[in-house]
Amino acid sequence: MKAKYLLIGIGFVGVLLSCSERLGDVEQPEFTVSVDKTTFEVGEEVVFKFTGAPSIISFYSGEPGNNYLYKDEGRLIQVADAGATMSFSTQMVSAPANCQTNQLAVLYSTDYNGNDNYADIVSAHWTDVSDQFTLATGTSSVASGERDITSYFSGKGPVYIGFRYTTKPQNANKVANPWYVTNFTVKSLVDPVDGADIVITDYIHAGFRIIDQYPEEAPSRSYVNSTRITFSANLYRLPTDSLYDENDPWNDPETVTWAISKPIYKDTVRLAKDWASAIKGINADEMESYSYQYNTPGTYKAYFVAVNSTIDNVKYTVREVEITIVEP
């Protein structure tokens, strides 16, 4: 598209209005939109002609992501009858030759109760699906591959995804190797919407949290931040340590740490709401027209939202124009 615009939601109009120095009552915008014809070819310039002089004008082209009908709440997509895939990436922090191996496993559960304590984790049934995915074998990040997980959702309830990190006693089995897990994504196999795959959940929304087997006696140093899960083992004592007690079971125990997702449901997906394009700001000159180009055939409902404002008051006028775009 040749139109240059700044993405802005109508919800942000109040921020712009605070810059206005006009006080007192505000008039309803007298604003109309017209076109010389309603059918255009792909790439042809569509000229929307205006009357009136509102302070602010925002534009919705009717295209994906810029549709007035979804400005307040995104579309709800039904995905219950479609399959699903899962993918993620893993990485070892240290060279595996000097560290423990086979520490990370991938599992899922349909009967975990979601409580953040270790007893509830081990009382649930977990299916190890590590062999369905490609895991890192060195210090480079490795994509797991996008694998079909439709069978995980065979029950009525949600699915929990768990990454399990096991550390054997480190004096006898080499030191533990920290691991990273990133780029976690679960997609629906429903047909793409507006050319985009439907994401059931991603790393941010999956809400992974860390649960240690021994949070008091031998806590791990694992954590979750905005970009990755980091698994890092518990501290341990060497026999040469002055505090080492050969009768203390916590000198160098075997430990397990989990990172478990929120419940994942495969029923509906709410898409993000759409945003307007700001085409006239409060201090800009009066506009007599606006030109735009559509690059995909179809019928579009273009909306223009005109605003007059003071610091204390806002009034809107909304105009709609239906446009048909055809192949040349």
Same domain? For 308 and 257 the reply is no
Residue 303 lies in a domain: yes
The tens digit of pLDDT for each residue in 150-175 reads 999 987 889 999 999 999 999 999 99
- pLDDT value at residue 244: 80
Same domain? For 259 and 151 the reply is yes
pLDDT higher than threshold 50 for residue 12: no
The tens digit of pLDDT for each residue in 14-23 reads 444 444 444 5
Is the model's pTM score more than 0.85?
Answer: no
- pLDDT value at residue 23: 54
Say which residue, 309 or 188, is predicted with more confidence.
188
Place of tokens 């000229």: 47
Residue 1 lies in a domain: no
Cα maximum dimension of the chain: 90
C-alpha R_g of the chain: 28
CA-to-CA distance for 181 and 105, rounded, in angstroms? 11
Same domain? For 68 and 194 the reply is no
Rounded average pLDDT over 183-192: 96
CA-to-CA distance for 227 and 43, rounded, in angstroms? 40
Cβ distance 15 to 278 under 8 Å?
A: no
pLDDT higher than threshold 50 for residue 92: yes
CA-CA-CA-CA dihedral for 38, 39, 40, 46, to nearest 10: 10
- pLDDT value at residue 26: 87
The tens digit of pLDDT for each residue in 192-214 reads 988 889 999 999 999 999 999 99
The tens digit of pLDDT for each residue in 19-66 reads 444 456 889 999 999 999 999 999 999 999 999 999 999 999 999 889
How many domains is the chain partitioned into structurally? 2
How far is residue 14 CA from its own chain's centroid? 26
Residue 33: CATH number of its domain: 2.60.40.10
Q: Which residues pair with 270 in a beta bridge?
A: 76
Which of 230, 245, 270 corresponds to the end of one domain? Answer: 270
Same domain? For 194 and 262 the reply is yes
Same domain? For 150 and 186 the reply is yes
Residue 124 lies in a domain: yes
Same domain? For 102 and 233 the reply is yes
Residue 68 lies in a domain: yes
Same domain? For 241 and 197 the reply is yes
Same domain? For 52 and 159 the reply is no
CA-CA-CA-CA dihedral for 35, 10, 79, 191, to nearest 10: 40
Domain that holds residue 17: 6-73+273-326
User: Which amino acid type is present at position 149?
Assistant: I
Same domain? For 68 and 93 the reply is no
Same domain? For 242 and 304 the reply is no
3-state secondary structure the chain: CCCCCEEECHHHHHHHHCCCCCCCCCCCCCCEEECCCCEEECCCEEEEEEECCCCEEEEECCCCCCCHHHCCCCCEEECCCCCEEEEEEEEECCCHHHECCCCEEEEEECCCCCCCCHHHHHHCCCEECHHHCCCCCCCCCEECCCEECHHHHCCCCCEEEEEEEEECCHHHHCECCCEEEEEEEEEECCCCECCECCEEEEHHHHCCEEEECCCCCCCCCCEECCCCEEECCCCCCCCCCCCCCCCCCCCCCCEEEEEECCCECCCEEECCCCCEEEEECCCCCCCCEEEEECCCCEEEEEEEEEEEECCCCEEEEEEEEEEEEECC
Which of 253, 270, 287 corresponds to the end of one domain? Answer: 270
Same domain? For 172 and 231 the reply is yes
